[in-house]
Amino acid sequence: MYIIDKSKNRIEKIESTTFKQLGFKEREHLQEWIANNPSCLNEDLLIIQKEFDGFNDTYERLDLLAIDKQGNLVIIENKLDDTGKDVTLQVLKYASY
């Protein structure tokens, strides 16, 4: 990624970093950013609930529950990095509930 300086007609490379290095947290930051602006996911979504835990016989909790324009439920599971590689399995588990 680069920063563009239009006045000087120059670009400057931005050093890559992680959310963790910047001190951002999954629930406090990423989840709130998405909840307040779901269009950042390039979908037309209405957020129904944060931290949904209405599953029977489990204490599982999904990050965000939304609905799309067609009325489909959308499960949003946030990860700040790639340590949550099992996120697909996690979302499938939530969908099965």
Q: Give me the residue spans of the domains in the chain.
A: 25-96
Contacts of 29 (CB under 8 A, 6+ apart): 19
Bridge partners (DSSP) listed for residue 19:
none
**Stated pTM of the model:** 0.74
Q: What is the pLDDT of residues 25-83, one digit of tens each?
A: 989 999 999 999 999 999 999 999 999 888 878 888 889 999 999 999 998 988 877 76
Instruction: Please report which confidence band the pLDDT of residue 84 belongs to, taking 50, 70 and 90 as the band edges.
Output: low
Which helix H or strand E contains 36, and what residues bound it?
helix 32-36
- CA 9/CA 29 separation, integer angstroms: 34
